[in-house]
Amino acid sequence: MVIRIDELSDVPIYQQIRNQIVMGISGGELKAGEQLPTVRALALEMGINTMTVSKAYQLLKTEGYIMTDRKNGARIRTEIKKHGEIPEADINELKRILSEARLSGVEKSRIISLVEECYK
């Protein structure tokens, strides 16, 4: 799985790493139980500070996407908690995106097909 980091983005790097790993899990690119690189190896590979990667891993662990232990490093959780809810902040973000799309003249059908494509 390839992670794309944009240093000029408003989104902090640790958040970009977190987001793309979540998308990787959701899209099936990262399988349940799959080993993630160590904090040091990933930081070295990306040319960023180990603290940044550590922060991303910590966030993923708190959110229940990965598990870490001293012996095996970080792995994708075999069972991710399914609470069936979209957090309030994400709903607001979705509203913003949809509003901008509507104002830009994007058809509802296009948005629905896009959602279906992403949700596969």
Interface residue list for other proteins (CB under 8 A): 1-9, 21, 24, 30, 36-38, 40-49
Least spacing, CB of residue 51 vs other proteins, in Å: 11
Give least dist CB 17 to other proteins, A.
9
Residue with Cβ nearer other proteins (8 or 89) = 8
Q: How many CA atoms lie within 13 A of 115 on its CB side?
A: 9
Q: How far is the CB of 96 from other proteins (least distance, A)?
A: 24
CB of 90 to other proteins, least distance (A): 23
- Dihedral sign (CA 113, 94, 66, 46): positive
Angle at 5 between CA 88 and CA 60, to 5 degrees: 45
Torsions phi, psi of 116, nearest 5? -65, -40
Residue closer to other proteins by CB (options 44, 114) is 44
Q: Which of 87, 72, 66, 50 is nearest to 18 (CA)?
A: 66
Tokens of 43: 């930081």
46/80 with CB nearer other proteins: 46
Cβ proximity to other proteins, 6 vs 88, nearer residue: 6
